[in-house]
Amino acid sequence: VIDRLGPGAYLGEISLLTGSAAEHRARARTPARLARIPEDAFHAVLRSCASVSETVLRTMAERVRRIEHLLQQRERMAGLG
């Protein structure tokens, strides 16, 4: 598990911004509804709304920090044996 997302959360922004393939796997613990935002609509919202752009960039930075921390922990555990 890399992340746990709550109501109102989103994912996939990194792959959209980098042009890479999304390799997400998710499982809902409770009933959930998902909305798929087309790439062109996502980019249009980023261009037209500064607060959305800031939120997306802040979320991406936090996710990258968490992933880096997880990788560092795994490297330390591998170093221990």
For residues 12 and 24, the answer to whether their CB atoms sit within 8 Å is: yes
* pLDDT, tens digit, 9 for 90 and up, residues 17-51: 888 888 878 888 889 888 888 989 989 999 999 99
Residue 74 C-alpha from the chain's centroid: 20
Residue 50 C-alpha from the chain's centroid: 19
- Tell me the CA distances in angstroms from 61 to 35, 56, 77, one per residue in order: 23, 9, 25
Binned at pLDDT 50, 70 and 90, residue 76 comes out as: very high
What is the reported pLDDT for 1?
66
The residue whose two tokens read 């560092």 is 72
Contacts 24+ apart (CB under 8 A), 30-38: none
